[in-house]
Chain A
């Protein structure tokens, strides 16, 4: 059961469209698995509509509608000839490399779209129990990556210099503050220190969005930074 949700502030930023893309991706992934938050966002969208309804109406340019209809008509002609010449596009299927991976085969729709189409997700070994794979989201402000912790594995204690948003995609892990299961959504603020451990019976897959590099504070911290160098893509 999902017990950790994005708070009202974050959902409001999502609904109003002000969240950075990369954070929006994780909130969206959570919404695709959490009916409770989905309903909350629906309410918030209705608030957006209320603010739109209560806006002061400003006359648009007199030719505005005619211009729009011209554009719509020329566009539908172009679309009709496009349809005749190009075959219908099939919905994208999950690459076999992912479909055969128990951790990857049931991802939320938005996360599945981030997987490289050629099936070549590049895992980098960070420590004995942690692997990471960077994902491209087309922005340069945040690093988006999968974190894969093997069953029972411990991640080196680290603190966060920037905001980190994480969602559990498969399995579960725990840290000093609690246990996080599939669908759970966590925000770590700058300066918070934690040391995640995957549960014994299963590997754990998370997706994380990190605003700035994290630094390792553990004993071997200088040798093994769990998140390597900061490389947004």
Chain B
């Protein structure tokens, strides 16, 4: 029997509501689709930022970040490509870049006028790269699930890294944990997620084979 070319788990996953809405915002400048995205993501972005209270990131800035991120989402939506990233991942990177930008702006020094664009350094667009993805990276649902299965101390340190945007050194300084412990928790956490993901993918593959 001839096998049907397999598009990969990502392509299928991309069929989610948010990615389709974001495409409509990008292609048709659809304000209703944008309103739905806002209603879902704005409170999450605010919640994510408020997980951030004890950092040098001002607490009252959460609303400002929400405005800034969703403004950029609207502006950049035409470049969104659903075959490359799910809406939530794409919005995460827009949010991360906004936050870096805002934090830099808060402690700007005179030399910063020569600075290069944050979006150039944290470049997710990657338009002229001829990378061939032989294998799609794992889908978001699996990553979501594997993250919740991590032991608390690994989940906590990864949450600190991402939510507070702190370097390993800063986390070590603040928590009193040795730097090596912070580093190894991050590494072991990521490795464990990888094992969980590979296990789940193998299982899915097996089910697919038996189905064919």
Contacts and interface: CB of A to CB of B under 8 A. Distances in A.
Interface of A: 7-9, 12-19, 21, 24-25, 28, 32, 35, 38-39, 42-61, 64-65, 67-69, 71-72, 75, 109-110, 113-114, 136-140, 232-233
B163 interface: yes
B161 A18 contact: yes
Q: Is the interface of A mostly helix, strand, loop or mixed?
A: helix
Given A16-B165, A25-B116, A65-B42, A49 B92 contact: yes
B176 interface: no
Nearest to A73: B31
B162 A47 contact: yes
Contacts of B38: 65, 68
Contacts of B137: 39, 42-43, 46
Interface residues of B, number: 74
A212 to B, nearest CB: 14
Given A16-B96, A64-B67, A51 B48 contact: yes
Given A52-B92, A69-B31, A9 B120 contact: no
A64 B42 contact: yes
Interface string B93-110: 101110110001000010
B121 A57 contact: no
B79 interface: no
Contacts of A59: 43, 46
Contact of A9 (B109, B112, B187): B187
A56 B118 CA distance: 27
B200 interface: no
Across the A-B interface, the 4 shortest Cβ-Cβ residue pairs: A138-B115, A57-B43, A55-B47, A138-B114
